[in-house]
Amino acid sequence: MPQGKPSYVPADGLTTRQRRNRPLVVVHTGPGKGKSTAAFGLALRAWNQGWPIGVFQFVKSAKWRIGEETAMRALDRVHRESGAGAPVAWHKMGEGWSWIQRSGTEQDHAADAREGWAQIKRDLAAETYGLYVLDEFTYPMKWGWIDVAEVIEALRTRPGRQHVIITGRDAAPALVDFADLVTEMGKVKHPMDQGQKGQRGIEW
């Protein structure tokens, strides 16, 4: 796609502007590092454009303090104090959204994940955000807690101009087929291969 020009223009009856501004479903999947990192890079661009941002964290523990959360909450504060950018809402739903099984049963975790998805559907219907980051959302679908077909239908019928980014390994084939933009992160090398644990500023 040299110089940002598409190699194919469909006969869909849309103008160039209409096609260019179509809301996207983006999937970042694969075994490599950087899926969430890339999603939050897009969130920075969305903030700069003035799009309200909703982050919904699945899997990661509510007790983890990741760098992106601190930064995005700071940007929300900048918006409230100066009017620059856009509001940012960060949703963490507790241990039930974590693969660290510290409390509760699998049924509890599944129920919490479904309630999180129910909130996302309510927000999509209300056009609450311009950009949604559904971080690690592939896992509740992989584990059978949330129906892939239901997710696709909700995204297909979402009103307005709402962009949605879904991250996580093992994205369902049907979701990959449906999405507008899919990137598969592939691992070539990783410090963990040499026994090195994650480090501050790189992993969080």
High-pLDDT (> 70) share of the chain, %: 86
Q: Phi and psi for 114 in degrees, rounded to 5?
A: -65, -35
Residue 2, both tokens: 């040299």
Separation of alpha carbons 133 and 114, rounded Å? 16
* Cα dist from 181 to 23, 73, 149, 164, 177, whole Å: 11, 27, 18, 10, 10
pLDDT tens for each residue of 122-164: 999 999 999 999 999 999 999 999 999 999 999 999 999 999 9
Domains of the chain by start residue, with CATH: 22-184 (3.40.50.300)
pTM beyond 0.85, yes or no: yes
Helical axes 106-126 vs 148-156, angle rounded to 10° = 10
Looking at per-residue confidence, does 129 or 58 come out higher?
129
- What whole-number distance in Å separates Cα of residue 190 and Cα of residue 101? 26
> In a 10 Å sphere around its CB, with 0-12 CB exposed, 13-18 middle and 19+ buried, how is residue 122 labelled?
exposed
Mean pLDDT over all residues of the chain?
A: 87
> What pLDDT does 93 receive?
62
User: How confident is the model over 7-50, as pLDDT tens digits?
Assistant: 778 888 778 887 788 999 999 999 999 999 999 999 999 999 99
Query: What's the pLDDT score for residue 97?
Result: 45
Split at pLDDT 50, 70, 90, the class of 1 is very low
